[in-house]
Copies of this chain bind each other. A is one copy, B any other.
């Protein structure tokens, strides 16, 4: 690494920067939409980075030593794609497919391209995820790769950025380098802080970062800043670059009103002339990374899950913790993180056993999920936990995680009114709806600790966004430790040839359903009871069979609002096939709960055994 620069080097940077600008304009004009001006402001920064600092093997995007380049300002995708072209990773013809149907070059970056770690475009996400990647680099892989995150100035108003800054400082992520493209102009005018780069620097420093203010169009300063960042130890670096949006074209440069607008076709030539349109597209070589291996992890062993005795009682949240610890013993790729409630979620069982693989995120749920997403970029198997209600804080990260094709496991404890005295702020009553409405998600809600433990083991093997809802209260152990439970399965807990109705329950309500069963049986009413522990995918076959065999009448009961939860999952089954639907009655929480005992609140909510009995009787 050197900070001396020669004239040919400056010329090379200039050539690349101008080509990146030219290509950013060309591909967006061809697309008829996109963000050329937000790309042009960062072109000089990226030119120096790509030629002189980035270490990346485009022939092997999975190389463990590759640096990671994350565009937190995802709308500068044209710049990123132009870099890929300049590196020879994609050709000009593909660049010109930007934003076209079927192209890998979407309006904002996604891992449809192998060089893109994660989807961005919802601002304020790239840095938090970069923090997760850098944590993996420093504490798990123990490799010297760098994580470069390109930030826009508008997104510095997002709280998630400061969660990330806080965690990066706390974890001393010296291989994380933020490049803030401070071009002053947001979508609709000047940003809050404009070109007040000193204000950004003060904030970064207060959060434990090294901060460097530069002119983002001065190659010397850019080069010096990168060199300084690489030499900084014990803290991450934020380079705050004062830049001009649309830099290089007089009618775009630092002009308001050009956000997210391509140069019109009839002005394209003028713009390219001003940039001295390079005579031909050049390819620039990017340094290859070193050839080091990450900390080696022994092959995974069989998991020795905890076992709970039928007849005893245990909370499924405790089973989560026990099983997570067992998974950790079996597979060194399993890592965990929690939002300062590990003594409630029982992630502490893992944390105590494997402190080097446990990452406390404190009360910062966006960063909690972002860290998980960042670590799966490096192929770890992350389990993130907090109160189920507080994952609502991170819904945008979960939604975007699906677009990133991320494989993460989330466990939300303290679900529903059954938590009791703490009151509604702590009760997840919308989590099933929220998690079901994530593309490709899996939603599990065990009723029993042996079942919970098995499902935790299943989660590790399962791709996509996998969510498990756990219960605060201890509940009776219903199933033997060796019974098998799988994603997409269910368990018919009670059935007979005389069944007149089916009750579908999950988690805490299964125990209410079983009480109702006994009461109904006493009155000679036979109900089939299904434990729908896999809420998504739901066990269609078992539910269809139950409807057919038990009078085409179904009662669903859930500790959740009526919308989007178990009841809707069951009803959904019947919208996917021919023939009329059965009669379905949904029991769910109908009024705003307060504090009280779990039993009082289940009764008040209309989801206790007593209400199930009433609903069954009304139905048959």
Contact = CB atoms under 8 A, between A and B. Distances in A.
Interface string A577-617: 01111111110000010111100110010000000000000
A67 interface: no
A600 B102 CA distance: 10
Contacts of A569: 563
A572 B440 CA distance: 23
Interface string A99-120: 1111101111010100000011
Interface in A415-441: 421-426, 429-430, 433-434, 436-440
A26 B363 CA distance: 29
A202 interface: yes
A97 to B, nearest CB: 10
Interface residues of A, number: 112
Interface in A563-580: 563-565, 567-569, 571-572, 574-575, 578-580
A98 to B, nearest CB: 8
A393 B440 CA distance: 20
A129 to B, nearest CB: 13
A303 B255 CA distance: 37
A206 interface: yes
B563 A437 contact: yes
- How many copies of this kind of chain does the complex include? 2
A234 to B, nearest CB: 16
Contacts of A487: none
A203 interface: yes
Given A393-B395, A439-B561, A596-B102, A426 B121 contact: yes
B580 A341 contact: no
A325 B552 CA distance: 52
B101 A595 contact: yes
A402 interface: yes
A154 interface: yes
Given A433-B434, A600-B101, A199 B206 contact: yes
B120 A425 contact: yes
B564 A437 contact: yes
Contacts of A341: 187-188
Contacts of A595: 99-101, 103, 105-107
A33 interface: yes
B122 A364 contact: no
Given A157-B363, A163-B158, A425-B120, A594 B395 contact: no
A427 to B, nearest CB: 9
Interface in A543-572: 552, 561-565, 567-569, 571-572
7 contacts: A32-B421, A101-B604, A106-B423, A119-B424, A122-B393, A191-B340, A433-B437
Given A400-B425, A562-B572, 14 more contacts: A31-B421, A74-B425, A101-B596, A108-B422, A119-B424, A122-B393, A154-B340, A158-B364, A158-B365, A159-B160, A187-B343, A403-B424, A563-B568, A567-B575
